[in-house]
Homo-oligomer: A and B are copies of this chain.
Amino acid sequence: MAEEGALRPTRNRRGRYPHGALRRALLEEALRTIGADGVEHLTLRAVGAALGVSRSALYRHFADKQALLAAVAREGFRVLRESLVDAWDAHGHGRAGFEAMGIAYVHFAMTHPSHYRVMFGRFLEDVSRDARLAEEARGAFQVLVDAIVEQQRDGLVRDDDPLMMARFIWSLVHGIAMLEIDGRFTGERARGGEVSRYAVQRIRRAIEKER
């Protein structure tokens, strides 16, 4: 059920995890629990127990529960950014690339709901506490801004403030993603995938340069 398949590291004969392996194992067990029970039910005790480790062993690798969640979110923003860049590049930039980015964003949320909820679900008290997390989040947003600027340069989209346009697009894909993974789209044709495909068509018209 883990979102990323990974081998669980085994303990060595002294009953210890090799250097850094427990940290990785804690992260993956947290992700697994979040996926199964929700972030709100994540307990450090259960994470420790699942790995056969004391409940305070975690504090060797993370300052506290917030730091564990911040690590989950940071990893999420990194994977999201890579997904966006991949979609943009794989479709040769331009209009097709931009539309693929929109689809990829919602697809990331649907395939990594545990990551996505921690990234945006207000479980992190203070995002700015972890500088590297803030940097990863900024980086993912920048991919969107850069794609808009490039399209403006090529005359494909309107010459509005690229930051404003990026916030507009981000709001849309974020809204679809959140409503989808929270099961808010009901009915037969309610899948977030369909909504995002419809949205991409409409957005094309909303931002294209008028001639």
Which A residues have a C-beta under 8 Å from some C-beta of B? 38-40, 117, 120-123, 125, 160-161, 163-165, 167-168, 170-176, 178-179, 182, 185, 187, 189-190, 194-195, 198-199, 202-203, 205-207
Task: Tell whether, in the assembled complex, residue B164 and residue A175 are in contact, meaning their CB atoms are under 8 Å apart.
Answer: no
Q: Which 6 A-B pairs have the closest CB atoms?
A: A175-B175, A171-B175, A206-B206, A202-B206, A171-B176, A174-B175
Residues from chain B with Cβ under 8 Å of A39 in the complex: 122
Contact of A171 among B121, B179, B187 (CB under 8 A): B179
Give bound CA distance, A163 to B179, whole Å: 14
Give bound CA distance, A115 to B181, whole Å: 20
Residues from chain B with Cβ under 8 Å of A185 in the complex: 167
A-B contact pairs, 18 of them (CB 8 A): A121-B122, A163-B187, A163-B189, A164-B198, A165-B198, A167-B176, A167-B179, A167-B185, A168-B202, A171-B172, A171-B175, A171-B176, A172-B172, A174-B175, A175-B175, A175-B178, A205-B206, A206-B206
